[in-house]
Structure 1
Amino acid sequence: MTRREVWRGSTFSVRGGSLDLALQQRSSDVILGLPHDAYVWSVILHLVAREVRRRTDGEVALSAGRLSIHLPAGSAHAYAVNEDALRELSRRAPKGGVAPRVLLRRDAPGLFELAALDDSPAMLRVEGYDDSCCHPRIVVAQANG
């Protein structure tokens, strides 16, 4: 059985014990915006799944599932200032190894209380990030104007 909740251009779906999130975006800069959006929304997906477990005292134990970001045709873009970076990025193949993970402290408060904290980044940590999993950094510029 699938249940869907729509929230401002996003759809949360429950399939079995998994919570999926599909987003509709108007446009995105593929160099700076899309990676940022994918990271932020994946963290939100995990936080919402955690919040469901918290509020149901573990009776509904959803795991974070798939994140899909949908862009209308022709709305993904890159600025000319980052043309060389885009070429380099398109030449790269995925690297093997273990991908880094973002972890939330077990004693962290609920989603809405966490958002109100000034020190909320202290509740998150990145684990498993090292040079073996990632390509060298590509320097990009934010387009102005």
Structure 2
Amino acid sequence: MPGPHFEQQYLDLMRRIWREGGERKDRTGIGTRSIFGATLRFDLAGGAMPLITTKRVYWKTATRELLWFLTGATNIRPLVLQNVKIWNEWPHARYVEETGDEIALDIFVERVREDEEFAAKWGDLGPIYGKQWVDWPTYQPVAGGLFRKGPGINQVAEVVDSLRDNPGSRRHIIEGWNVAEVPQMALPPCHKTYQFHVEGNRLNCLLYQRSCDVALGLPFNLWSAALLQCMIAQQVDLEPGELVWMGGDTHLYLNHEDLIREQLSREPQGAPRLEIVRRPPSIFDYAIEDFAVHDYAPHGPIKAPVAV
């Protein structure tokens, strides 16, 4: 007998939070129902991917975001030029707060698209994910007890090298939570710590997420983590193994009730698979055209507001 559909654990988590989670005030002012500490596990053997089917997940958008992280970029303009909208609200909110100009979001985004100088000033998000992943800052002492900036640390490249050279290490980690730079970030990293583990010819990955919006964020986070795992596995000549996701404050926003009820009424379907159609020279050379998804026939999308 086949086991339960891979997505059932996601739906069970959503149901548990909505029924049993404690109501909390939060940074956004909207309020959440939340539990603390959750775990999901997915086997990626044979190209299997935790791509949610009870609503359409725009996996190409999530993929473009991941590829953007790997460039170390922190300005939304490259995403805007690809019509990726997921980071637009944060710089828009900063612009409105700092200038008092109540410009509409779509007009703000169009200015970022068309005006490089405006984008340079207002489109930056601070030293978020990609900056920490591939250019973690270092500092070197100079005369007088002062420090100057040293060469950045490319954590992603170091993990790829360590997986090749020392697969049994327990230090295959990519960390996003740079305490010194968190105040400068538009949004401190939610998916903050990735640890990799080699078991035979399989590469496992554990993602710890300090804060998780289960309805809107988690479907993207699961896809992106699994994709990064598959990309690294290809680069180090291993097969994708198990993805383990762990959540700290794992929550649903109170204004997402319609989405939650609709999604929980749907049955998961199909078994989406990833094909990486090319092996580029390095982990930093993938393009959106390198990925194909097969057997993905989801239910329709469900829209809900993003909490900023």
TM-score by length of 2: 0.37
Contact preservation (8 Å) 2:213, 2:252: yes
CA distance in 2, matches of 1:107, 1:20: 20
1:104 and 2:281 equivalent?
no
Contact preservation (8 Å) 2:197, 2:203: yes
Aligned partner of residue 285 in structure 2, secondary structure: helix
CA distance in 2, matches of 1:40, 1:70: 14
CA distance in 2, matches of 1:15, 1:3: 11
Runs of 4+ with >6 A deviation:
none
- Provide the residue aligned with 1:29 in structure 2: 213
- Provide the residue aligned with 1:69 in structure 2: 245
Letter in 2 for 1:141: A
Cα distance per residue 1:14-36 (max 9 Å; x no partner): 11111110111111111111010
1:122 and 2:279 equivalent?
no
Letter in 1 for 2:290: M
CA distance in 2, matches of 1:11, 1:40: 14
1:12–1:80 distance in 2 versus 1, CA, 3 Å: same
1:140 and 2:300 equivalent?
no
Bigger CA drift: 18-27 or 6-15? 6-15
1:89 and 2:263 equivalent?
yes
1:28–1:103 distance in 2 versus 1, CA, 3 Å: same
CA distance in 2, matches of 1:126, 1:89: 22
Contact preservation (8 Å) 2:235, 2:279: no
CA distance in 1, matches of 2:268, 2:277: 29
CA distance in 2, matches of 1:144, 1:16: 42
Contact preservation (8 Å) 1:104, 1:123: yes
Contact preservation (8 Å) 1:51, 1:110: yes
Deviation of residue 10 (structure 1)? 1.7
Identity within the alignment, %? 31
CA distance in 2, matches of 1:142, 1:18: 38
CA distance in 2, matches of 1:143, 1:107: 35
Letter in 2 for 1:48: I
CA distance in 1, matches of 2:200, 2:194: 19
Aligned partner of residue 28 in structure 1, secondary structure: strand
* Structure-to-structure mapping, 1:36-55, within 5 angstroms: 36-53=220-237
Letter in 2 for 1:127: H
Deviation of residue 85 (structure 1)? 1.3
Aligned partner of residue 19 in structure 1, secondary structure: strand
RCO higher in structure (CA 8 A, sep ≥6):
2
CA distance in 2, matches of 1:92, 1:129: 15
CA distance in 2, matches of 1:7, 1:143: 27
Query: CA RMSD for the aligned pairs?
Result: 2.1
Deviation of residue 2 (structure 1)? 5.1
Aligned partner of residue 236 in structure 2, secondary structure: helix
Structure number with larger C-alpha Rg: 2
1:106–1:143 distance in 2 versus 1, CA, 3 Å: closer
